[in-house]
Chain A
Amino acid sequence: TQLLEQSPQFLSIQEGENLTVYCNSSSVFSSLQWYRQEPGEGPVLLVTVVTGGEVKKLKRLTFQFGDARKDSSLHITAAQPGDTGLYLCADDQAGTALIFGKGTTLSVSS
């Protein structure tokens, strides 16, 4: 059974700081997805990465996929209070449901 480990579990920072969260898998990802979940809401897809070494940018968010496709990082530049939420990584394997990590809870205070 695939295990997704996310770190850190909790992160509390000030507005304007940079941060990086990580996702590591016990096996090779088929297709890695990052989600953000706000309190009281369902997760919302941020990005999908498929190719080892791939880097994708979404405004102040930079997603990197490891060359071996077993790890990924999410870097946020100049964090804002609106970035607060639970960041989840997930593996999307064809024909089966998404497998999620436990997430990183990010709190950005102004």
Chain B
Amino acid sequence: NAGVMQNPRHLVRRRGQEARLRCSPMKGHSHVYWYRQLPEEGLKFMVYLQKENIIDESGMPKERFSAEFPKEGPSILRIQQVVRGDSAAYFCASSPAPGAGEKLFFGSGTQLSVL
């Protein structure tokens, strides 16, 4: 039973390019969360999605960032026109259901470096 799969593990982009980060949740999980982690800043919530729906995007910057979780295929976090400040580790987590007590399973993350 594969865990949460994220790819690529490392992504290098030049300023102004687009970054696409993919996340395949665990089998049977329909809830996906994206977090961003900067050194010494902990994990910051970005967006929470269910299949075909964005449930909570309160942590996501209003511009350049978007996320989707289509009926078929992985969840995608898309960053347009990347800037150096977007460099960070981006983690995806999945759970079978929302809310208190549900265990979140995290992927190994995508390390985005913007040159």
Contacts and interface: CB of A to CB of B under 8 A. Distances in A.
B69 interface: no
Interface in B3-61: 4, 33, 35, 40-45, 48, 56, 59
A68 interface: no
Contacts of B43: 43, 88, 98, 100
Contacts of B102: 92
A40 B108 CA distance: 7
A97 B107 contact: no
B106 to A, nearest CB: 3
Given A50-B101, A92-B100, A97-B33, A42 B4 contact: yes
Interface string A70-110: 00000000000000000010001111111111110000000
Interface residues of A, number: 24
Interface string B89-115: 001010000111111101111000000
B100 A45 contact: no
Interface string B63-105: 0000000000000000000000000000101000011111110
Contact of B93 (A9, A40, A42): A42
A44 B33 contact: no
Contacts of B42: 88, 100-103
B40 A102 contact: yes
A94 B99 contact: yes
A101 to B, nearest CB: 6
Interface of A: 9, 30-31, 40-45, 48, 50, 88, 92-103
5 contacts: A45-B103, A94-B99, A95-B98, A98-B33, A100-B42
Given A43-B43, A43-B91, A100-B43, 20 more contacts: A9-B40, A30-B100, A31-B100, A40-B108, A41-B109, A42-B106, A42-B107, A48-B101, A92-B99, A92-B100, A95-B98, A96-B56, A97-B33, A97-B45, A97-B56, A97-B59, A98-B33, A98-B43, A98-B45, A100-B44
